[in-house]
Amino acid sequence: MTTRLDFDGPVILGAGLAGLTAALAAKTALVLSPTPLATGCSSAWAQGGMAAALAGDDSPTLHAADTIAAGAGLCDPEAVELLTREGPQAVRDLAALGAPFDRKADDSFVLSLEAAHSAARVARVGGDGAGAAIMAAVVAAVRATPTIEIRETARARRLLQDATGRIVGVLAQINGALVEIRSTAVILATGGVGGLYAVTTTPAQVRGEGLGLAALAGATIADPEFVQFHPTAIDIGRDPAPLATEALRGEGAILRNTDGRAFMADYHPAKELAPRDVVARALHAERAAGRGAFLDATAAVGAHFPHEFPAVFEACMSAGIDPRRQMIPVTPAVHYHMGGVATDLDGRTSLPGLYAAGECASTGVQGANRLASNSLLEAAVFGARAGRAAAAEGAAGGEPVSLAPLPDLPEPALQGLRQAMSRDAGVIRDASGLTRLLGQLEALEAAHGPCPPLVAARLIVDAALARQESRGGHYRSDFPATAEAVRSFVVREGTAAPRRQAA
């Protein structure tokens, strides 16, 4: 039996930094979270911090230039300009909410350098604890706002759409029961696609659900082929794989193979601080050649590990590796999705009534390769903008044309999909692997129907096959050169045409 709930405001799917920032900006919102707040979202796991031009010798213009350089030709300059201009205030706003950023004696922010940044501009908390601490502050603020309702163990089973294509609410499963929620707007803040891959640093339940739901409703999806692989997930057989933050390399940690040889000079003059995709491919190559890959922070961090990088230290120690004295085994792992539901600068998608923010959105700021520590920033800046814009939507729209839940992907099929995605749509791709994978996806969809994770995987694979070049996070061994810089905008076949064109 399906019950009905009418909500006079936006419904927000997802409770990471983008979703909760949107809720605070909207002031009145209903947040649906699949897990208890701050437990199942990538934001809470972020080790790096928030990049923003907070230092006297830095500027939003420099931050924008670094973001655009990392994005490998596909960033939207207007979106980047907005992100970097609003960045410092976004950090201060989170600090005012209670996020305990590391400070110097004069109360200015302690700022770290990360790869491909031309200045130290990453605001951190307790070394590698930024995500958890920021989320704790935001969750407290949301819980203290009586006009924000929260439903945990709630997940979306379909976007409700009227005959014109407008989104008029969501069919949710809350504590196992189906609820038809009618609302003035829906904001997708469901995170990325890590759980579609066998090796990921993100919570495994983050598996492209928002992307799939939006695509099935006919929303325009941008650049889905661009998946970022973090070079240094800790390879201790854990799912998801714990992260060894890039800041360790910022501190001077060295990548070595089993023989102890530092190999990054073979791949890029910037060595350990080369762009993330270059380092990920170098590790992939070393591992594929049987030489292994390790992060050696014994000299650079050594005895300071427990207080400077407590999360990494704890993950290593739990697997019997003492990073003060031993090298850390590392592997590339899916870390971030640059592609997503195409939005304008206020989070509007191509479908009236539907907004997106955070990793599941494509605002155009991340291009083909996200600059480190720009993701929490994007979630805060664009989450707030989406929340404000969605709150301004008045009640509109007709009756939903379908109330049927979309199918779920059975666990064994999902696990098979994850292995196949890592093998054939991973760090290195080619036409033969992608074609084989496409066949597998078609067979899975024939067997199980259009499950949102399958639809999300299909978007990645179709676009990866169509992009016959290498750029940023997308590397084709059969097309290693870079071609003309063109973004991908796709609408799933068989859906209604979008009613409003995203920027």
Q: Which amino acids are annotated catalytic?
A: 276
Q: Nearer to ligand SIN by C-beta: 172 or 227?
A: 227
Q: Hey, what are 387's tokens?
A: 């929340």
Residue numbers 87-146 binding ligand SIN by CB under 6 A: none
CA distance 142 to 16: 12
Q: Is 104 exposed, middle or buried (0-12, 13-18, 19+ CB in 10 A)?
A: exposed
Q: Nearer to ligand SIN by C-beta: 246 or 424?
A: 246
Measured CA to CA in angstroms, residue 108 lies from 35, 67, 104, 245, 443 at distances of: 35, 23, 5, 23, 56
CA angle 206, 211, 216 (to 5 degrees): 130
Q: Is 354 exposed, middle or buried (0-12, 13-18, 19+ CB in 10 A)?
A: buried
Using only C-alpha atoms, the chain has a radius of gyration, in whole angstroms, of: 21
Q: Nearer to ligand SIN by C-beta: 23 or 311?
A: 311
> Do the beta carbons of residue 47 and residue 130 sit within 8 Å?
yes
Q: Give the binding range for ligand SIN (CB under 6 A) out of 61-69, 240-248, 299-307, 422-430.
A: 240-248
Closest residue by Cα to residue 369 from 66, 71, 67? 71
| Helix then strand then coil, % of the chain, to nearest 5 | 35, 20, 45
Q: How far is the CB of 70 from ligand SIN (least distance, A)?
A: 11
Measured CA to CA in angstroms, residue 163 lies from 56, 70, 97, 168, 499 at distances of: 54, 41, 42, 10, 11
Residue numbers 6-45 binding ligand SIN by CB under 6 A: none
245 part of the interface to ligand SIN, by CB under 6 A: yes
Q: How far is the CB of 272 from ligand SIN (least distance, A)?
A: 12
Closest residue by Cα to residue 457 from 211, 271, 255, 286? 211
Q: Nearer to ligand SIN by C-beta: 11 or 280?
A: 280
Q: How far is the CB of 88 from ligand SIN (least distance, A)?
A: 17
Q: How far is the CB of 97 from ligand SIN (least distance, A)?
A: 20
Q: How far is the CB of 91 from ligand SIN (least distance, A)?
A: 14
The number of residues that bind ligand SIN (CB under 6 A) is 9
Q: Nearer to ligand SIN by C-beta: 282 or 438?
A: 282
Q: How far is the CB of 139 from ligand SIN (least distance, A)?
A: 20
For residue 319, give the DSSP letter. T
Q: Nearer to ligand SIN by C-beta: 60 or 250?
A: 250
375 part of the interface to ligand SIN, by CB under 6 A: yes
Q: How far is the CB of 48 from ligand SIN (least distance, A)?
A: 3
Strand-pairing partners, residue 151, are 32
CB atoms under 10 Å from CB of 411, counted, come to: 8
Applying CB under 6 A, among 200, 366, 373, 470 the residue interacting with ligand SIN is 373
Q: Give the binding range for ligand SIN (CB under 6 A) out of 317-325, 359-367, 368-376, 389-397.
A: 368-376
Q: Give the binding range for ligand SIN (CB under 6 A) out of 80-88, 245-253, 389-397, 457-465.
A: 245-253
Applying CB under 6 A, among 372, 390, 455, 463 the residue interacting with ligand SIN is 372
Applying CB under 6 A, among 209, 246, 344, 346 the residue interacting with ligand SIN is 246
CA distance 440 to 458: 10
257 part of the interface to ligand SIN, by CB under 6 A: no
b/e for 65-81, b at 16 or more Cβ within 10 A? Answer: ebbbbbbbbbbbeebbb
Strand-pairing partners, residue 158, are 171
Q: Nearer to ligand SIN by C-beta: 172 or 316?
A: 316
Q: Nearer to ligand SIN by C-beta: 47 or 183?
A: 47
Q: How far is the CB of 182 from ligand SIN (least distance, A)?
A: 37
Q: Nearer to ligand SIN by C-beta: 63 or 335?
A: 335
Q: Nearer to ligand SIN by C-beta: 135 or 219?
A: 135
Q: Give the binding range for ligand SIN (CB under 6 A) out of 25-33, 135-143, 239-247, 291-299.
A: 239-247
Q: Give the binding range for ligand SIN (CB under 6 A) out of 52-60, 72-80, 146-154, 244-252.
A: 244-252
Strand-pairing partners, residue 228, are 336
Closest residue by Cα to residue 169 from 9, 23, 24, 33? 9
Residue numbers 39-98 binding ligand SIN by CB under 6 A: 47-48
357 φ/ψ angles, rounded to the nearest 5 degrees? -150, 155
Name the residue number minimizing CB distance to ligand SIN: 48
Measured CA to CA in angstroms, residue 203 lies from 9, 38, 255, 282 at distances of: 29, 11, 26, 25
Closest residue by Cα to residue 397 from 2, 6, 1? 6
Residue numbers 308-367 binding ligand SIN by CB under 6 A: 335
CA distance 293 to 260: 9
β 328-337/227-234 pair status: antiparallel
Binding site for ligand SIN (CB under 6 A): 47-48, 245-247, 335, 372-373, 375
